[in-house]
Structure 1
Amino acid sequence: MPPAWPRSRPAGPPMARPTMGSRVRVKALCPPGHVRAPWYLRGKTGVIERALGEFGNPEQLAYGVPAEKKPLYRVRFTMSEIWGNRAENPDDTIDAEIYGHWLEEV
């Protein structure tokens, strides 16, 4: 049986709605169950590239429970943030779409 939703929700208060250019960090959590924050981005800092709207929370939809609407953001990370001094092109970037409940203010 899948874990109950409240156990898999990242803890902490929701952050205020970030705007384009806001610096954010992906929460470095490892909750059980279906989550939508890539492992390699957890704990990393990026910049909001844009807001994409609100969508049903896929972490709830995965278990067939009613889904709360959650804001989704495109967040831009530099290769140096992700790979450190091993980054071949440190200033190159990668964008990822991350739900707001996985982000915290920096």
Structure 2
Amino acid sequence: MAPRAEALPEVGPAPPPPYPAGRPRFSPGDAVKVSFRDGPGHIRTPWYIRGRTGRVERVCGAFPNPEELAARRDGLPALPLYRVRFALAALWGAGAAQDTLDVELYEHWLEPADAA
């Protein structure tokens, strides 16, 4: 079965700074793909969005990595956290065009959508 093309939802204007102290790799409006991988330990990225494409809705700030915190490490350096918007129809094949799901994801789970 051929992969289904994913419609990317629109995002509004970027919220005002402050953004994380370090430069985030992505900006509001950027199309990003969620890494499709698994690993040991406490993973905070939902399975149903791995390998899917969405749009950065906002940069939330920089926070300690919760996957590292769950392993009783310090979680540093802090990583940029993004709110990424997905079209429900692209995720589950159903839903109105305006139906979306926002998920907050750390930068190490994201890659540019045009990366193969």
Please tell me the TM-score bracket, short chain as reference: 0.7 to 0.9
Structure 1 equivalent of residue 33 of structure 2: 25
Structure 1 equivalent of residue 104 of structure 2: 97
What is the CA–CA distance in structure 1 between the aligned matches of 2:112 and 2:95, rounded to whole Å? 28
What is the CA–CA distance in structure 2 between the aligned matches of 1:33 and 1:90, rounded to whole Å? 36
Structure 1 equivalent of residue 72 of structure 2: 64
Give SS of 2:91's match: helix
Equivalent positions of 1:1-106 (< 5 A) are 17-68=25-76, 69-84=78-93, 87-106=94-113
More helix by share: 1
Q: Extract unaligned runs of 5+ from structure 1.
A: 1-15
**C-alpha RMSD of the superposition:** 1.2
TM-score by length of 1: 0.79
Q: Does the 8 Å contact 2:65/2:75 carry over to 1?
A: yes
Q: Extract unaligned runs of 5+ from structure 2.
A: 1-23
TM-score by length of 2: 0.73
Structure 2 equivalent of residue 5 of structure 1: none
Size of the alignment, in residue pairs?
Answer: 89
